[in-house]
């Protein structure tokens, strides 16, 4: 992870930002679709200013890109930063594999995260394997069917 010539600083900012459940949820929402800060604020039981502060932490970490759209500020997730964080974690995992006889990559890690809001039936799922990360959205039934198909292939 290199942004300002100090890879540890970027990693510190990214993982500190991801240490809060609200910020992780905001990131999932931004991964799914571009949204205004006002739209995001409606999803949470907190003040607009509190949501703005969470977005600012994500923006400073490089996980969110905020831009003007007319009079609004809209946010998008920056996949490049997420990929660099994923690469760093994979490097740690590889170090662990060198020390261990256990094959931790035998079963892919699966994390399903829900974006709070108007459509509670939709979920964003990030599936990480040894060589790639996939981000999908769908209903829980759709995501389960995809997982079942993957298991049949392996």
Look at residue 153 in the predicted model and tell me its pLDDT.
65
Task: Find the mean pLDDT for residues 20-32.
Answer: 93
3-state secondary structure of 98: helix
Among candidate residues 26, 36, 27, the one with its CA nearest the CA of residue 69? 36
DSSP classification of residue 55: H
Q: Please give the torsion angle defined by the CA atoms of residues 115, 119, 121 and 123, in that order, rounded to the nearest 10 degrees.
A: -30
- Asked if 123 contacts 112 with a C-beta cutoff of 8 angstroms, the reply is yes
Q: What single string gives the DSSP state of each residue in 101-138?
A: SS-TTSS-EEEEEPPPSS-TT-EEEEEE-SS-EEEEEE
Look at residue 50 in the predicted model and tell me its pLDDT.
95
64-69 and 109-113: which strand pairing?
Answer: unpaired
Q: How far is CA 107 from CA 82, 88, 91, in A?
A: 21, 19, 17
| pTM score, whole prediction | 0.61
Compare 53 and 91 and report the one with higher pLDDT.
53
Please check the confidence at residue 149 and state whether its pLDDT lies above 50: yes
């Amino acid at each position: 992870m290199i942004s300002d010539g100090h890879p540890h600083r970027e990693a510190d900012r990214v993982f500190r930002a991801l240490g809060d459940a609200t910020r992780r949820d905001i990131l999932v929402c931004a991964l799914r679709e571009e949204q205004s800060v006002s739209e995001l604020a409606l999803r949470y039981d907190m003040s607009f200013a509190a949501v703005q502060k969470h977005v600012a932490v994500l923006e400073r970490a490089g996980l969110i890109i905020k831009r003007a759209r007319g009079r609004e500020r809209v946010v998008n997730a920056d996949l490049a930063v997420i990929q660099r964080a994923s690469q760093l974690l994979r490097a740690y995992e590889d170090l662990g594999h060198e020390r261990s006889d256990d094959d931790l990559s035998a079963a892919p890690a699966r994390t399903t995260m829900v974006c709070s809001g108007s459509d509670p039936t939709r979920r964003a799922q990030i599936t990480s394997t040894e060589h790639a990360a996939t981000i999908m959205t769908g209903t829980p039934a759709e995501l389960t069917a995809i997982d079942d198909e993957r298991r049949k292939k392996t």
